[in-house]
Structure 1
Amino acid sequence: MLILHAGTLKMMSEVTSKFLIQPGDILYPVSDAMYLINKNENQRLKITSASVFSATQWCSLKKSCKSTPLKAEITG
């Protein structure tokens, strides 16, 4: 689960990616829910679901996903 910032819009998203996403990485939209990681054409990911950010929901997800290694906060 990622947090995406786009201006005043803040979203939580699940993604499919072959690449590890690190805190501080920036996602750049290209087309049809596809994003580049740090503008690297060879590192693409797909948004599989997204919802408006909720601090309560985010805390709940963090607690339930403690064993999941791919959690990051992404700004862009």
Structure 2
Amino acid sequence: MLQTIEVEIDAQGQVHPVGLNKPLPPGRALLTLLTPPANEEALLSEAALAEDWLKPEEDAAWAYLQPVR
């Protein structure tokens, strides 16, 4: 039977089950790494928005919101 569980991976690469009250059984498993959705959406939209946003007139229009250096 296939079972999906949530895990956390620490800085050393150790896998820790979340909310599982027993140890993982020995054996093999597949692990799908999830990235934060906000990052993926930002990367997908960046190219589409770059045509409009990366213009000198856009920088000038928003300059008043930038901190003074």
**TM-score interval w.r.t. the shorter chain?**
under 0.3
- Normalised TM-score (structure 1): 0.23
TM-score, normalised on structure 2? 0.24
Give 1 or 2 for the bigger CA radius of gyration.
2
Structure number with higher helix proportion? 2
Which one has a larger percent strand, Structure 1 or Structure 2?
Answer: 1
More relative contact order, 1 or 2 (CA 8 Å, 6+ apart): 1
